[in-house]
Structure formats: C-alpha cells, structure tokens
Chain A
Amino acid sequence: MTATQQQLELVSVTKRYGVTVAVDAIDHKFQPGGYACLLGPSGCGKSSTLRMIAGHEGVTDGAILLGGADISYLSPAKRGTAMMFQNYALFPHLSVIDNVAFSLKMRGDDRSGRLRKAGEMLELVDLSALGDRLPDQLSGGQQQRVALARALITRPQVLLLDEPLSALDPFLRIRMRGELRKLQRELGISFIHVTHGQDEALALADEIVVMNNAVIEQAGSARIVFNAPKTAFVAQFIGGHNVIALPQGRFAIRADAVGLLHRGMGHLQGSILAVEYQGAHVSVLARVAGDQDISALVPEATFFNDPLNPGDQVGLTWDDANLHKLTA
C-alpha cells in the first residue's frame, strides 16, 4: 500500500425517496486499497449506497469523504470514482476501443493519444485483438472486461462495481471473480463491489459490509463476518449457520459444528426431517423441541458409517465455544 491511497468514508449517509428511507444514516470507513463487498438482499439499500458514492444519486443527508475531502456534491467524473454498471452499459454504436476511450474524448484528448491509452487499457484486460468489434459482437465475459477497461481509464481512486458478475453464467462468474481480485491487487486501488451472493463476497472481499433494511448489520473481514455473525440476519444471510434460541438467549452456530449422536445423548433431541447428499458433506435437517429446525453438515464418510433416515430420532451436540451470542 502506498501513501497516495485515499480512504473512502461514509458519514451518516442517508437516502430518502419521499417517505421511504432507502439508506438510513450509515457510517463506514472503507480500507484504503482494499476489496470491499456490499452484501445484502435486494432492496436493502446497497445499490443506492453505491450510486450515491458514484454521484448518480444525491445524498439526502450526510457526507461522503474521499481522502478527507467532501465529494458528496461533486459531479460523478470529478469524484475520483468510476462505476462499472450492472449490465455494463457499453455504448452499442461505438467500437470496443472507442468505448474505452470515451472519457478521454469527452475530456478533449486528441484521437491518436486517446487510442494509444485505450489500447494500453485493453492490453491490461487482455482484449487487444478485439478493439474494432462492436459490443454486441462480444461474449458476456468480454463485454465485462471492456466495461472494466472503460471504468479504469480515468485512473480512479475507487472503482465501484454494481453486481458485476450477475449477468454471467456460473462457470464464467467464478473465473471472472478471480480476474477481478487479481486486477484489484495489481492496481492497488479500492474496489467496492455490490452483490447479493454471499459466496461471491466471501471469495473476493477483504472486507464485507452486510446491509439489511437500509442499515449496516455488520462490517468486517470475511472470516470474522462468517465465523462470528453479530445478528440473526447476518447468520442466516451469510449461510451455513443455524440460529438457535436457547434459555440463555439466541445463538448462531455453524452447521458443520453441529454433530449427530444417538437419541438421548447431546444437547438437544430432534427428529430428522430431511437428508441431502451434497458430495463432500451430507446435510441433515432435524426438528427439535419448540419447532426449531437445525441443520447439521456431516462429513460424508462419517454419515455413511451410521446412516440416518428421515423420521429417525437423534441427539444434537456441539462445542459451546462454537456458539456465538446474537445481539439481534
């Protein structure tokens, strides 16, 4: 990390549309030069937050600071941010290289200069050979790289990505997320990536910001958010967790930390509702007293040593150190 990296900070940022509050006074400091994911279900305010940072939505209240300067009221191009749109928003009438060079043209650079710089950018995303094509002659993955090159050519401090992988098929999605991560490391600038896929966020992010109902539920590194969810919402949304109400309060526990024993043993007694084979693991869903459903992720070999069927009675057990108390 170099000293030129500037920190992006949200100070009680609020967005209201009439009476509905889309973003409710959120505060957050993004790590400079890090890969951050805004994670949450649709309608949670993550896209509005991103669009406010980009300058495509005005803030109703609060401030957005980049490197200590208030950028809340600057035009999108003057903020030092660049946005990559969900559907890429490539200009259909311009060739790939003209798309990439668009912002330089708007700035008034001469044609040879801007084509040279756009050519360098296309090299970075490995598309030099396709500069003369039109966007609709490219595959989804190629279009995405053009959109990336177009966003990066302005040398932004912060790159904002609005669900960049959602238009791709699952196989390509995994490959492109690897490329995004690699590119972010090479460039050393901050990426802020909006997604509703927890696997995507876990795979990519240095820092995950989980949003729900217009507020930030939890922010932290991927490991901390996954292993120590603070709220029931985070535990459920991030996946792989059970939320259990015990006499001492509500707790989250990872499904792979729950073990199965013979009936009469363990912490809770339950009957099996469903058994699902998932390859490396077998997912067993059990219903315990008080109509709570708890899933246990059992290694495949362990499960088939002593197979269980729906309707069987079992005991559920765990190490108390793996219980995380939830605040909400």
Chain B
Amino acid sequence: MALPTMAVLIFFLVLPIVMIVVVSFWQATEFSIIPAFDFENYEFLFGSNVTYRVFFNTFKYALITWALTLGIGFTVAYFLAFHVRSLTWQIVLFLLCTIPFWTSNIIRMISWIPFLGRNGIANSALISWGVIDEPLDWLLFSDFAVILAFVHLYTLFMVVPIFNTMMRIDKSLIEAARDAGASGAQILWNVIIPLTKPGIMIGTIFVVTLVMGDFITVRFMSGSQSANVGRLISNDIALLAYPSASATAVVLLLTVLIVIGIMLRFVDIRKEL
C-alpha cells in the first residue's frame, strides 16, 4: 500500500518542487531560457528593494488577516460550541457558515466590487444616512478592500478547526472550573483558550499559508495598486521569466515553512491530527 502512495506523492509533489528549485538556477533572456547553475536570479531578488517591500506587504496582509479571522473565528466557534445547546442546532448553524463556500472564491470576491465602489451600495447608504458627505475612496481598490476580502474568504478556515477542538473539550471541565469559583472570563482564559490552542494553530496555518500564497485577491481588490509575493511571481510568469518566478517561489516557500516551523514550536498539534 505504501508504494503507490509514495509514487503519487513523488510524482505530484516532490518532482514539481524539485523542478521549481532546478529552474530557479537557470538563466533567462528576453526570448530564451538557458539551463544553467547560476545564482543570478537570487542575487537580483535579494538585491532589489522591491522584493523587501513586497515581502513586507505580504506579511502585513497575513498578520492583519490572521488577527481578524482569529477574533471572528474564535467568537463564532465559541458561540456554536458553548452557547448553542442542542446538537441539531449546532449542525444547522455550522452548515449555515459553510453556505458561502458553495460559490467560487472569485465570485465571492468580485461581489464586493459593486458593494464597495465609489457609487456602490456602501457609499450611497452612508451618504443617505448622513454619516458622510462625500463617497469614501478607500472602500474599494485599497488595502482595506484586500483585507476585507481575505477575512471574508478565509474566516471559515479558522472556525472549523477551532470549533472541532472546542467540541472535544469535556463539558465537566467547565463545571469543575465553575465549582472552583471561576468567573466566565476566567473560564475562557484559564480553561477554554489553553485547550483550544491546537485548533487555533491549525486555523492559523491555513490562513497564513492561504494569504501568503494568494495573488488574485490582491490583484482584484487592490485594483492592481498593491503587490504581494504571489503577484510578483504571477507577473514574472506573464513575462515568461520562469527562472525568476521559480526563485521567488522558492524563497516564498521557505519563508512560509519557517513561519510554520516557528508556530509549531509553540503548540503541539499532533493530538488533533
């Protein structure tokens, strides 16, 4: 049984990555790609200011999206796991959370555009309520729009693992804490959050990798005004600069692996797998 699985993994996972690593050392001109073993792609990448700015931007998106999805995801999961008493309602409400996922990512993202645009629903509503006089420009094609779309797209990836971990918390632990005189906030801080850490960590890995690898959300929602590493790679590919795209991809892959490696130092998720 192990052999076919290994073959599939090697063919579809290991080989493509090896290929990317190999190509990242090749040379390219405007019209040709030359197999070689040369560090010029990496030298150019690390020598350019743009790279650092774009990586910084990528981390910024990841960090803000993480904080917001964690806040919303934890609250939703907490409500479902501890305030909804019957299992039927828990399942119904949980399925309700997943309904937006029945449509494609792109469609859900694009639907924000008429809502947030200069003459969109948000602006006209705010004007008619008298909250603002002039339409807000920063609602669409801005970092705000990018992060809003990320949060909308990826919060469920936080809800599911956290909810899953919370459902495994023995309810008698909550009673034992109350028996010991703990208030609601103390129970949350001393019992529920520590026991939910593995779920939080799995959700964090999902959200961070999804946001750091994304390019389409940033392109659409920033109106091509912001960049992250994914867009750097997609631009290179559009210019057929495969070696340069590969080098950027390798650096991004290593960065994400290092981030996850650091996170796994803090929390043991083995029990959840």
Contact residues of A between 132 and 181, Cβ < 8 Å to B: 150-151, 154
Known interface pairs A105-B190, A106-B186; A89-B178 also in contact (CB < 8 Å): no
For B137, list chain A residues within 8 Å (CB).
none
Task: Kindly state whether residue B179 has any CB partner on chain A within 8 Å.
Answer: yes
Whether A89 lies near B195 (C-beta < 8 A) is: no
Q: Which residue of A lies closest to B197 (CB)?
A: A93
Name which of A4-12, A79-87, A299-307, A312-320 contacts chain B. A79-87
For B180, list chain A residues within 8 Å (CB).
77, 102-103, 106, 150, 154
Whether B181 lies near A93 (C-beta < 8 A) is: no
Q: Can you report 19 residue pairs joining A to B where beta carbons are below 8 Å apart?
A: A76-B175, A76-B179, A77-B179, A77-B181, A77-B182, A78-B181, A85-B175, A85-B176, A89-B172, A89-B173, A90-B176, A91-B173, A92-B195, A93-B195, A102-B180, A102-B190, A103-B179, A103-B181, A106-B180
Q: Which residue of B lies closest to A78 (CB)?
A: B181
Whether B181 lies near A89 (C-beta < 8 A) is: no
Task: Kindly state whether residue A204 has any CB partner on chain B within 8 Å.
Answer: no
Q: Which residue of A lies closest to B170 (CB)?
A: A89
In addition to A75-B181, A76-B175, A77-B181, 20 A-B residue pairs with Cβ atoms within 8 Å of each other are A54-B179, A55-B179, A56-B175, A56-B178, A56-B179, A75-B178, A77-B179, A77-B182, A78-B181, A82-B179, A83-B175, A83-B179, A85-B175, A89-B173, A89-B176, A91-B173, A92-B195, A102-B182, A106-B180, A150-B180
For B178, list chain A residues within 8 Å (CB).
56, 75-77
Task: Kindly state whether residue A107 has any CB partner on chain B within 8 Å.
Answer: yes
Contact residues of A between 95 and 122, Cβ < 8 Å to B: 102-103, 105-107
Which among A54, A89, A107 has the highest number of chain B CB atoms within 10 Å? A89
Whether B172 lies near A102 (C-beta < 8 A) is: no
Name B's interface SS: helix
Alpha-carbon distance between A91 and B179 when the two chains are bound, in angstroms = 13
Alpha-carbon distance between A39 and B134 when the two chains are bound, in angstroms = 75
Contact residues of B between 167 and 195, Cβ < 8 Å to A: 170, 172-173, 175-183, 186, 190-191, 194-195
Alpha-carbon distance between A55 and B170 when the two chains are bound, in angstroms = 18
Interface residues of B (CB under 8 A from A): 170, 172-173, 175-183, 186, 190-191, 194-195
For B177, list chain A residues within 8 Å (CB).
91, 102, 106
Pairs A-B, 9 closest by C-beta atoms: A77-B181, A103-B180, A89-B176, A89-B172, A106-B182, A93-B194, A106-B181, A76-B179, A85-B172
Interface residues of A (CB under 8 A from B): 54-56, 75-78, 82-83, 85-87, 89-93, 102-103, 105-107, 150-151, 154
Q: Which residue of B lies closest to A54 (CB)?
A: B179
Q: Which residue of B lies closest to A85 (CB)?
A: B172
Alpha-carbon distance between A106 and B179 when the two chains are bound, in angstroms = 11
Q: How far is the CB of B190 from chain A (nearest CB, A)?
A: 7
